[in-house]
Every structure is written in structure tokens, then in C-alpha cells.
A and B are shown apart, each in its own frame.
Chain A
Amino acid sequence: MHELSIMQALVDAVEAIVREHGARRVVRLVVEVGEMSNVIPMYLRNAFLAFREVKPFLAQAELEIRFVPLQLRCESCGFEFQPQGYRYRCVECGATQVRVVQGEELLLRDVELEVESDDPSWPVELPSHGAPRFCE
């Protein structure tokens, strides 16, 4: 269940962005999870819900997970395809020299923030109640 560690890293990155922009809260997060990212979207979402409980700046945030299917391009014949069963081999010509077009990524794509441009009391201090425990 390394999704909790990965979510911890995501929350740290988002917290830094929230501070940098003096934002009050996060409205939405968009992450890209490749088919070959080794992350199960549902576990990532569960980890997010656990952090939302303890991080006030995430209290009303939505998490959008964009699943990215594995897509390969043959270096030999140029054919582009989505493989079955993680076979990194051209389905047209059989070559094993294939390039990953997409599907191995694990990215924080966008952070949508609510900011108040003309409030001098911002940026605010962000309270925190610790982090959820890691995988059992």
C-alpha cells in the first residue's frame, strides 16, 4: 500500500503551493496515473480521503484522477498501439524496441486554489494535525 506514501508526497507538494500562493484552500487536484505507474487509483483515493481529514486546506478539495492507458510506439515500424498484458513488443512487426508514449507517468498535474487577492491578512498559517500512518 505505497499509495499512502505517494499521497504524503503529493500533500507536501500541494501544501508548498498553497503557501506560495497564499491560498486559503484547495478546490481541486488533478493527478495523472499511468496504467504502468504501479498505483491503484482506488487506493490513491482512499489515501487522499485519509489526508483530507487531517489537513484543513484540503477539507473541501476534490481529487480528480486521470487514468492514462499504456501506449507504445514501435521504433522499428512506427506503429502506435496499446499493448495487452504489458507486452513491450510491437504488435505489428514484433520488434522489442518500443518507446513509451504514455502510461508510466505518475504526476501532479493541476492544483486549483481559492485565493483572495485583496485581503492583507493572507497568506494564512496552515494548521495541521499530523499525518495518517503508513501501510500496515
Chain B
Amino acid sequence: MAEIRTVRVMESLLKANDYVAQRLRQAWDQGQTFVVNLISAPGAGKTTLLEATLPVLLSRYRVGVLEGDIETERDAERIRALGVEAVQVTTGGTCHLEAPMVEQAWRLMDNEIDFLFIENVGNLVCPASFDLGEHLRVVLLSVPEGDDKPAKYPKAFRTAQALVITKADLLETMDFSVERARREALEIQPELQVFVVSAKTGVGIPAWTQFLEQRRRQTFPDA
């Protein structure tokens, strides 16, 4: 006798990812490693922002980088050229990082670090769904992409705590309103901290790195 049985589940489809993310966050809290997840469209300037950020932090902090680029080791090599440990995360072809991939890569790294930067796969949609256990999620928007991106990719902006508008040196030549981008992003996430930077000229880098240090101190007050 066959019968039909309905099972009420009511569980998040991201439960398995979020479970591992939580485990990572606990490990990072314990070791006082402040973790930053960088999300943007391809080419928005994640690696270049890291190249401008790491030298500032290196004098006072131990720093590591996880590189989520699918194609090549090129970004990891750019980071290693600064004398920073960079581990390539193998995504198996996916368009985003998931917590278990990060956990695997973290096992291969020196865990005695103060800052861990995760460069997510270049994509403004998919990475936004996956908690990696990070303390700070940063979305990057580059000037050439246009100021109307936030409403087109709301989840990335909604789930971030900071927005970095990159390639500010191109503001003079391009039709990009910082005010409009800021306003649109704040409509989606009123708590966003907004930075306008150029990795090329160094404009805005000090405010950005001070923010990172301040967030780390707030997260680990007795560090």
C-alpha cells in the first residue's frame, strides 16, 4: 500500500554552506584573524586594490590572501610578488566561492595571521549568496562600470558592509556620478560605508586601510 507523505522541512537551501561558514568564523574568531571577502564584477580592481592595501598593512600586521580566480594563478602571483602568502582556491569551475572551498584552502595556509583577504570570483551575482564566514564583506564598483550598478545587482550591495568605488582617477573622463552610486547603494543597504579610491594614484587608500584596522579592532577589542 503506497501512501503519500508530506514532510514539512522549512530549511534554508544554503544551510550546508552556512554551517561550514559558521565553523570558519569560529576558527577565525579564536585566532583573531580578521577576514575580508571582496566581491565585484571581473576587472573592477580587486587584485589591484589588494596591491595598494597590503603594503600599508604589512608593517604592522601578518596578512594572507585567498585567491578565487577560476582561470589562472596570475592574481596569486601578483600578491606573492609583495611577499604575502597567497593560496589559490580551487572552485572546480563554479562562478563563486563556497565556504567548504575556503575551508580547504585555509588548511593549506599559515593560520597565524591578523588579516585574511579573500578575492572572490569576478561576478556580482553568485558570490553574494554564499557566506564564507567573513567579518567584512566589501563590494567593489569601478568607475568604468557605471553608477547604475547597485540596483541591478542588489544582493551584492545588500549583503555588504562596505562599498569601494574604484578607479577614481577615471572620474574626470567618465560619466560617473559618485553621488548617484552612493545614493543608490545606500537605498539598498543604509549601513554601507562608502570609500572612493584610486589604486593608481593612491587617493582614498589611507581612509580605506584605516577603516580595515578600525573594524579589526572593533571585532577583536583585546587584540
Q: Give A contacts to B, CB under 8 Å.
A: 1-2, 5-6, 9-10, 12-13, 17, 21, 23-24, 27, 31, 36-39, 85-89, 96, 105-118, 133-136
Contact = CB atoms under 8 A, between A and B. Distances in A.
Contacts of A13: 9, 11, 13, 15-16
Given A112-B4, A112-B5, A5 B10 contact: no
Contacts of B2: 24, 114-116
B4 A2 contact: no
B7 A111 contact: yes
Contacts of B158: 36, 86, 88
A113 B13 contact: no
Contact of B129 (A6, A87, A116): A6
Contacts of A17: 7, 9
A62 to B, nearest CB: 12
A112 B129 CA distance: 27
B13 A2 contact: no
B198 interface: no
Given A5-B96, A109-B9, A112-B5, 15 more contacts: A1-B126, A5-B98, A6-B13, A21-B5, A38-B125, A86-B158, A87-B188, A96-B186, A107-B10, A108-B9, A110-B8, A111-B7, A113-B4, A113-B7, A114-B4
Contacts of A115: 2-5
A87 B158 CA distance: 10
Interface in B188-223: 188-190
Given A36-B154, A36-B155, A106-B14, A113 B5 contact: yes
B94 interface: yes
Nearest to B189: A88
3 tightest A-B CB contacts, nearest first: A2-B126, A96-B190, A38-B155
A18 B98 CA distance: 26
A9 B17 contact: yes
B1 interface: yes
A109 B155 CA distance: 22
A107 B187 CA distance: 26
Contact of B188 (A5, A6, A88, A110): A88
Contacts of A134: 92-95
A2 B95 CA distance: 7
A89 B13 contact: no
A118 B2 CA distance: 9
Contacts of B9: 13, 17, 107-111
B41 interface: no
Contacts of B106: none
B3 A38 contact: no
B176 interface: no
A135 B130 CA distance: 15
A109 B8 contact: yes
Contacts of B59: none
A116 B5 CA distance: 10
24 contacts: A2-B96, A2-B126, A5-B98, A10-B13, A13-B16, A36-B154, A37-B155, A38-B126, A38-B155, A86-B158, A96-B190, A106-B12, A106-B13, A106-B14, A107-B10, A108-B13, A109-B9, A109-B10, A113-B5, A115-B4, A117-B1, A133-B93, A134-B94, A135-B126
